[in-house]
Chain A
Amino acid sequence: MSMNKDKTEKNKRTLRERWHGLNYKTKDFIQSWMFSGPSVLGVSVFFILPFLVVVYYSVIKSPLNPEFVFFENFQNVIGNQAFKIAVKNTADFSIVAVPLAVILSLGLALMLEARIPLKSQFRTFFLSPMMVPVASVVLIWQVLFDRNGVLNEVMLTFGLDKIDWLKSEWAIGVIVVLYLWKNLGYNMILFMAALSNIPKELLEVADVEGASETYKFFEIKLRYLSPTVLFVTILSMINSFKVFREIYLLTGEYPVERLYMLQHFMNNTFEALDYQKLSAAAVILAIVMVIIIALLFKVEDSFGKDVEG
């Protein structure tokens, strides 16, 4: 009995001794991985490795017949009519919505920065869309933009014809409004935070020197804001992909052609269990995203260097 206890005691000691006996470098290595290890492991297991499988799927004939077909799946996807429409619509949406989200939120931030009353209440109001559950967003958007909806009532009183907004040429516009409504508030907060970090002395000197508001904006504020502009742009891009949820709930699996997004394509391909097509589309999407991100980083490098740090 006591011998046994002795033994465990001895083992314990050796473990501790072993730890202290390690040289600095090994200790540091073990400690560093105790912190980042769980996350790196989880990300590898749940995202990176399976993505490699997706890449593998994209170049074989089928999981049952793993014959290497090279670019055949990619050619199938790119040649697919639905895919082309989806890419065009998604690109159109992002090209309109993302810059608008950046510019309008910056405008709102600048307005709230001017000393106006009720500033903090307004800030809360602008953030309120983040709280509203998607389901109720969808209901309200229907009430507003349906064929018999509120907007058409207003149009009628002005003697204009009814439009079925979500099934018309304007459908993308309706979604852009929804997207802006949802995301402007948070973007605005990011800009407000960045604006408050601009050194006051700089603006005061500009005032003393008699600089115009335009000069102050373009030559001082925008330079300090450039990292935030990049950050907000990227965030807006992420969120522009999330608006699919609302489109899907508003218009179902097969909306009017103008609203058929890449996500519809992926979703429907997923439901058809066409893994080859799906994998190829995912790989294409990933490559495009990496290119866009690299470009944005390059832009920031050449633009925001003088104020970094």
Chain B
Amino acid sequence: MKKKKYFGRAVMFIISAVFAFLFLMPTVLTITNSFMTQSEINANYGMIFSNITGDRGYIADKVTLKFIPDKVSLSQYITALIKSPDYLFKFWNSVILVVPIVVLQVGTAALASYGFTRWRGKFRSFMFFFYVILMLMPYQVTLVPNYLVSEWMGILNTRWAIIFPGMFAPFSVFLLTKSMRRIPSSLIEAAKLDGAGEWQIFTRICLPQCRSALYSIAILVFIDYWNMVEQPIILLPDPAQQPLSVYLSQINAGEVGIAFAVATIYMIPTLLLFLHGEEYLVEGIAHQGSVKG
């Protein structure tokens, strides 16, 4: 009986290990390939990105998936960071688009979810249901409304065309409301008896209680917008203002090596957020449960 249990666990371990490494592979590939020289990249993947222009050098007739570079080289990073400052500009574009969205979206959502938690009239229940529907709408449905409003407000092709809709995206309102509703009402009642006003209850009780939820939502929102491609293409067509995610997605085949290096650089903020907040990510969503309010 006991032997059987050990055997089962070993099988599960092996299966999860195989899956886990398959899942990790693209991340590892991105990072290790960023330390290869362009000629090594060409040699490895030349067959695939065959429209590579310029000095092609040696191209193997077979594609090889290499995890460890022949010689660790920083040439791609040097090209990306020093020779073409374009990448850094785009990186900065990403920062000034995404940071305001994360801060404003989480801030507005925190206020709103407190409102949805403390006051539950008919109108608010209806609004909350509406948020859920809106949250589930594919981007292609909200795209047209977003475009119309931006045009009408005259903010099309400016940063605000992306920041404003991002600020009011209902996703975080939904998640935060769910965790705020889990705060024991006795806690709030006690604070009220002690003479705390709504603002004090909000800042001193609700926000600290939802810390891990706030953090995990911030990470999710950040990841979502850090990799946006469609929104800027349509709402912010000016290439000088577009974030690096758009630029990266349009990189052409001859720059595969640089693409890996830039992608690695682009991954750093997410990586740091992850390492710092993975526990929150797990904890903060641990109690989501039912979709309905």
B-binding residues in A (CB < 8 A): 28, 31-40, 42-43, 45-51, 53-54, 108, 111-112, 114-118, 121-140, 142-143, 146, 148-150, 153, 181, 184-185, 189-190, 192-194, 196-197, 227-228, 230-231, 234, 237-238, 241-242, 244-245, 248-249, 262-263, 266-267, 270, 275, 278-279, 282, 285-286, 289-290, 293, 296-297, 300, 304, 308
Residue of A nearest to B170 (CB): A43
Looking at the assembled complex, report how far the CB atom of B209 sits from the nearest CB atom of chain A, in whole angstroms. 16
B101 within 8 A of A: no
Establish whether residues A116 and B135, one from each chain, have CB atoms under 8 Å apart when the complex forms: no
CB of B9 within 8 A of CB of A54, answer no
| Residues of chain A lying within 8 A (CB to CB) of residue B140 | 241, 244, 262-263, 266-267, 282, 285
Q: Does B27 contact A (CB under 8 A)?
A: yes
Known: A140-B29, A270-B144. 6 other contacts (CB 8 A): A47-B165, A53-B148, A54-B144, A130-B274, A136-B26, A266-B143
Task: Tell me which residues across on chain A come within 8 A of B271, comparing CB atoms.
Answer: 131
Residue B205 is within 8 A (CB to CB) of chain A in the complex: no
CA distance A112 to B12 in the complex (A): 8
Q: A114-B9, A129-B27, A270-B143 are in contact. Are A47 and B168 (CB under 8 A)?
A: yes
Report the Cα distance A184→B136, complex, angstroms: 19
Q: Is B111 a contact partner of A139 (Cβ separation < 8 A)?
A: no
A-side contacts of B23, CB under 8 Å: 125-126, 128-129, 181, 184-185
Contact A194 B289 (CB under 8 A): yes
Tell me if B145 counts as interface (CB < 8 A to partner A): yes
User: How distant is B221 from chain A, measured CB to nearest CB, in Å?
Assistant: 12
B20→A125 contact, CB < 8 A: yes
CB–CB A132/B27 < 8 A: yes
Q: Which of A42, A150, A263 has the most CB of B within 10 A?
A: A42
CB of A136 within 8 A of CB of B263, answer yes
Q: Does chain A have a CB within 8 A of B192?
A: no
Specify the main secondary structure of chain A where it touches its partner.
helix
Cβ 8 A contact of A286, one of B19, B141, B249:
B141
Q: A131-B270, A194-B289 are in contact. Are A46 and B168 (CB under 8 A)?
A: yes
What is the CA–CA distance of A275 and B48 in the complex, to the nearest angstrom? 38
Contacts of B30 in A (CB 8 A): 132-133, 136, 140
Complex-state Cα separation, A212 to B29, whole angstroms: 42
- Asked whether A32 lies within 8 Å of B119 as measured between CB atoms, the reply is yes
* Across-interface contacts of A231 in B (CB, < 8 A): 288-291
What is the predominant secondary structure among interface residues of chain B facing chain A? helix
Q: Say yes or no for B86: interface residue by CB 8 A criterion.
A: no
B210 touches A (CB below 8 Å) = no
In Å, the complex CA distance between A275 and B151 comes to 14
Task: Verify B136–A38 contact, CB threshold 8 A.
Answer: no
Contact call B267/A245, Cβ cutoff below 8 A: no
Q: Which of A131, A193, A245 contacts B229 (CB 8 A)?
A: A245
Q: Is the CB of A122 within 8 A of B16?
A: yes
Residue of B nearest to A271 (CB): B234
Alpha-carbon distance between A229 and B29 when the two chains are bound, in angstroms: 33
Q: How far is the CA of A114 from the CA of B108 in the complex (A)?
A: 40
B239-267 CB mask vs A (1 if < 8 Å, else 0) is 00000010011010000100110110011
Q: Could you list 9 A-B pairs, sorted by A, with CB under 8 Å?
A: A36-B112, A39-B109, A39-B168, A128-B23, A129-B27, A135-B263, A139-B263, A245-B229, A248-B229
A24 to B136, alpha carbons, bound, how many Å? 37
Interchain CA distance A53-B144 in the complex, whole Å? 10
Given A131-B270, A227-B289, A111:B16 Cβ within 8 A: yes
Query: Is B24 among interface residues, defined by CB-CB distance under 8 A?
Result: yes
Interface centre among B47, B168, B226 (most CB of A within 10 A): B168
A36 cross-chain contacts in B, Cβ below 8 A:
111-112, 114-116, 119, 124, 127
